């Protein structure tokens, strides 16, 4: 479990401002995201290079996601959604580098991310729709007698959103890394049969690569779904 430990970079205790491995790997996340989006697209060519193509595809992928899931009027929040996507994606991917620290495997990080999304989306809902935003909990298509019960369920599910949103990401990241660690531990214990867990870790690594991207995608698309609810609260 030491791979998840938060350590001060230059020794000493960890207080709120201490540069830690969290600082390092979050900074690397910013560097990697900027490298793709700025350095990759620096040619600004009509016929793109491979790196520029990758930057444009990332842009187009998230843009289309926002437009399709949250609606065309949600495009003004595209930079915010894009920032969330890039952060989660590169934090997940960089975490897969051996000896790296995975910032998104910490519930503190994902919870703050999810709460930021939750609070800003809820505030946005009330600012844009006023009291009508509460219509999100009042299922007007259901029979009148059922509506109060449904409202309670809707309310609970609404407040469960940031919980599932954050635990899903942190759990997936942590589980994958922990399993890899356990398999790697087998390799030294098994002696001559060491190659079995090594192969398993290799296969697991490929799966984790997939999970890293998918979790970034899931986190972002859920953000878009919540954003749509804020912009169009009526069922």
Using CB under 8 A, pick the residue from 66, 70, 113, 230 that binds another protein: 113
Q: Is 211 in the site for another protein (CB under 8 A)?
A: no
Q: Is 82 in the site for another protein (CB under 8 A)?
A: yes
Distance (Å, rounded) from C-alpha 36 to C-alpha 89?
12
Q: Is 61 in the site for another protein (CB under 8 A)?
A: no
The residues in 115-154 that bind another protein, with binding defined as CB under 8 A, are: 116
Q: Is 210 in the site for another protein (CB under 8 A)?
A: no
Q: Is 10 in the site for another protein (CB under 8 A)?
A: no
- Cβ distance to another protein smaller for residue 5 or 73: 5
Q: How many of the other CB atoms lie within 10 Å of CB of 220? A: 24
Q: Is 15 in the site for another protein (CB under 8 A)?
A: yes
- As a 3-state breakdown, the chain gives helix, strand, coil percent values, each rounded to 5, of 80, 0, 20
Task: Supply the minimum distance, in Å, between the C-beta of residue 46 and another protein.
Answer: 5
Cα pseudo-dihedral 168, 83, 30, 165, rounded to 10: -10
List of residues contacting another protein (CB under 8 A):
1-2, 4-6, 14-18, 20, 22-23, 26-27, 29-30, 33-34, 37-38, 41, 44-46, 48, 52, 55-56, 59-60, 78-80, 82-83, 86-87, 103, 105-109, 112-113, 116, 170, 174
């Amino acid at each position: 479990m030491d791979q998840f430990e938060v350590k001060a970079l230059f020794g000493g205790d960890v207080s709120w401002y201490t540069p830690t491995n969290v600082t390092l790997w979050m900074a690397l996340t910013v560097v990697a995201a900027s490298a793709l989006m700025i350095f990759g697209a620096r040619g600004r060519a009509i016929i793109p290079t491979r790196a520029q193509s990758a930057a444009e595809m990332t842009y187009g992928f998230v843009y289309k996601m926002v437009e399709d899931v949250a609606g065309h009027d949600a495009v003004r929040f595209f930079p915010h959604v894009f920032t969330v996507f890039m952060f989660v994606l590169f934090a997940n991917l960089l975490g897969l580098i051996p000896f790296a620290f995975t910032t998104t495997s910490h519930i503190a990080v994902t919870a703050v991310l999810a709460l930021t999304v939750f609070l800003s989306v809820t505030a946005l809902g009330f600012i844009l729709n006023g009291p009508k935003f509460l219509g999100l909990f009042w299922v007007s298509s259901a029979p009148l007698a059922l509506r109060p019960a449904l409202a309670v369920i809707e309310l609970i599910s609404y407040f469960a959103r940031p919980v599932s949103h954050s635990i899903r990401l942190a759990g997936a990241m942590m589980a994958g890394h922990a399993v890899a660690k356990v398999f790697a531990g087998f390799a030294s214990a098994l002696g001559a049969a060491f190659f079995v867990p090594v192969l398993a870790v290799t296969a697991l690594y490929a799966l984790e690569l997939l999970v890293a991207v998918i979790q970034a995608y899931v986190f972002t698309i859920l953000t878009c779904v919540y954003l749509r609810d804020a912009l169009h609260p009526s069922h």
